Structure 1
Amino acid sequence: MDEKTLRIRNEYIAYVRFEKNYSVHTVTEYERDVDEFLEFLKTEGILTIESITYQEARLFASRLYDRELSRASISRKISSVRSFFRFANARYDINDTAFRLLHHPKKEERLPAFFYAEELDKLFEACLGEKPRDHRDRALLELLYATGIRVSELTSICLGDIDNDLGIVRVMGKGRKERYVPFGSLAQSAIEQYIEISRPLLMKTVKHDRLFVNLRGGPLTERGVRHILDAIVERACIESNVYPHMLRHTFATHLLSAGADMRTVQELLGHSDLSSTQIYTHTTKEHLRRTYMNTHPRA
């Protein structure tokens, strides 16, 4: 690949990391997608992005389909490369028509998975130990379910972001958008016990202000949260495929099922577009339909 293309690539990654303030996970995905596209060009003998035509863009998309990736993955990769070309066009006047003309695959209609009340009870029961890690895990689980925040948002929370008296947490969302999310008495109690008793024991001699810490006292990472949830699920003997984002789905689904208005749920979740929140109305309707079909005598 020529030096100019590599320079644009590096500037683009710096742009999404520092100017757009995307999360580490999002930046990693953008970087991987763009590098995958540049590797594709290399195999096709194309040395510079300045010569890309619609035909090459179509060929790249067809290679993604050949790998039998999900439509969501293909759509994301095309979006990443399109964003890369948009940046190259703005900074270096590189023609971005090829990917502007390329259509996304139609998204799969997949309803978000969520926990039922019985499953949630099992998860919380699995955190009833009295060791410092049990207090941390319970506080972590309570806060995720009580607020519906993303795992990336959870791991960035500092002690000063929590007002446990008022039951409010300050959250830094996507694009560095700040919002305040309330949480209830059960989360308050778990967080208070964790901060006052268990966090100092886990911290030992380490010093930082992140709310959640690992067993060595360092700031808890997104991967660490997934590892903790996997362990809780195993102790709770829940066999379904579980991932941290399910707690966010559960938060939204349970609020809407109980009569919360969609605009409030949108604000709590930090969605910029109401359509992102509307998917949960389909989930609640499907839940009602299944309950009806399973329980009504003449269904």
Structure 2
Amino acid sequence: MASQLQDELDAFLAFLTLEKGLSENTLSNYQVDLEQFRLFLMEARKVRSWKEVSAGHVSDWIYSLSEADYSNASLCRKLSSLRSLDAFLLRDGCIRKSFTEIVSGPSLRRKAPYTLSIQEVERLISAPDETTPQGLRDVAILELFYSSGLRVSELTGLQLQQMDLEIGALKVFGKGSKERVCPIGRKAIAALERYLEVGRPQLVRAKTGSSVFISSRGSAISRKTIWVLIRKYASLAGIDKPVKPHMLRHSFATHLLSGGADLRVIQELLGHADISTTQIYTSVESERVRSAHDEFHPRSRGNMDTV
């Protein structure tokens, strides 16, 4: 019966692929986490069927990973993957009792996301050489990232037919293929128009499709290339922090909140399914307010003026 664990695990992964429409990266995480648990069950506990799995097995697995110095964030993700499998097996009648229901995961305090200041964003966007088609493309990428708060996968997968520059909006398909409409700011529209009129035609090749952002070879630009470009322009802009593509999404949300935008609006723009995910940005704003108070209030400063 050694294959029973694998067969039902394969069925669950097929369900995620066909029914849930998850990204390749998310599916890969599920597969790694659940395969790791399956091997633990077979090798360490000699379990051959999901019906034999208990909460004790799950707790032992999480403990073994903790002992191997996995971070709390990784442990929470692995337990979340296992809970999803557990729910699937219950729903399909493969097991009669949940093996994760009474298992508590490690406490996880979400860190406030790193962001760029408005001045740093402006320096970053000004870094590309706009006399080249690649430079026009890169300015459009940076402007759109910051203007619309897109994920890297949403930006690299963006197609020409998803944009309407006349009304200043684009339609994206985020996690789980959920559709949302994102506004495009005035400066981002101008950068996109310059790129589409002057830059992109010089990059088009015979096999180029309808991807908005394309490489010098005419193919859709990759996530890896985006990472390399943003690190390059951060260095040119003299930004002394490890800048990643997601920082522009974080900066987009934080600057909207600082400007007075409603948290629910920001949730919708970012495509978060749960408001609790968006609430992490309130901690960034609280820290900024606290810092400003400490710096400028006469009874918060370290050296108060004497009267």
Aligned in 2, Cα 1:201/1:182: closer, same or farther, shift over 3 Å?
same
Task: Tell me which residue corresponds to 2:11.
Answer: 11
**Distance in 2 separating the partners of 1:35 and 1:151:** 27
Task: Tell me which residue corresponds to 2:33.
Answer: 33
**Distance in 1 separating the partners of 2:104 and 2:272:** 24
Post-superposition offset of 1:169:
0.6
Post-superposition offset of 1:12:
1.5
**Distance in 2 separating the partners of 1:167 and 1:41:** 53
Amino acid at match of 2:276: S
1:261 aligns with 2:262: yes
Q: Residues 54 and 102 of structure 1 are in contact (CA less than 8 Å); yes or no, is this contact kept in structure 2? A: yes
Post-superposition offset of 1:43:
2.6
The CA deviation string for residues 178-223 of structure 1, in whole angstroms up to 9 with x for no partner, is: 1111111110011111122222222222221111222322122323
**Distance in 1 separating the partners of 2:52 and 2:240:** 51
Post-superposition offset of 1:294:
2.3
- For 1:29-178, list aligned pairs within 5 A: 29-44=29-44, 45-95=46-96, 97-178=98-179
Q: Residues 137 and 195 of structure 2 are in contact (CA less than 8 Å); yes or no, is this contact kept in structure 1? A: yes
Post-superposition offset of 1:92:
4.5
SS in 1 for 2:171: strand
**Distance in 1 separating the partners of 2:5 and 2:57:** 16
Gaps of 5+ in 2: 301-307
Post-superposition offset of 1:52:
1.1
1:245 aligns with 2:246: yes
Q: Residues 130 and 139 of structure 2 are in contact (CA less than 8 Å); yes or no, is this contact kept in structure 1? A: no
The CA deviation string for residues 212-240 of structure 1, in whole angstroms up to 9 with x for no partner, is: 22232212232332222222222223231
Q: Residues 149 and 248 of structure 1 are in contact (CA less than 8 Å); yes or no, is this contact kept in structure 2? A: yes
1:200 aligns with 2:201: yes
Aligned in 2, Cα 1:142/1:46: closer, same or farther, shift over 3 Å?
same
**Distance in 2 separating the partners of 1:111 and 1:82:** 26
Aligned in 2, Cα 1:248/1:96: closer, same or farther, shift over 3 Å?
farther
Post-superposition offset of 1:148:
0.8
Gaps of 5+ in 1: none
SS in 2 for 1:100: coil
More divergent stretch after superposition (71-80 vs 106-115): 106-115
Residue-pair matches, total: 299
Task: Tell me which residue corresponds to 1:235.
Answer: 236
SS in 1 for 2:180: strand
Amino acid at match of 1:143: L
**Distance in 1 separating the partners of 2:87 and 2:249:** 32
Q: Residues 86 and 96 of structure 1 are in contact (CA less than 8 Å); yes or no, is this contact kept in structure 2? A: no
Indicate the structure (1 or 2) with the bigger Cα radius of gyration. 2
1:280 aligns with 2:281: yes
Task: Tell me which residue corresponds to 2:305.
Answer: none
SS in 2 for 1:165: coil
Aligned in 2, Cα 1:190/1:263: closer, same or farther, shift over 3 Å?
same
Amino acid at match of 2:7: R
More divergent stretch after superposition (166-175 vs 193-202): 193-202
Aligned in 2, Cα 1:84/1:192: closer, same or farther, shift over 3 Å?
same
Post-superposition offset of 1:292:
2.2
Post-superposition offset of 1:95:
4.1
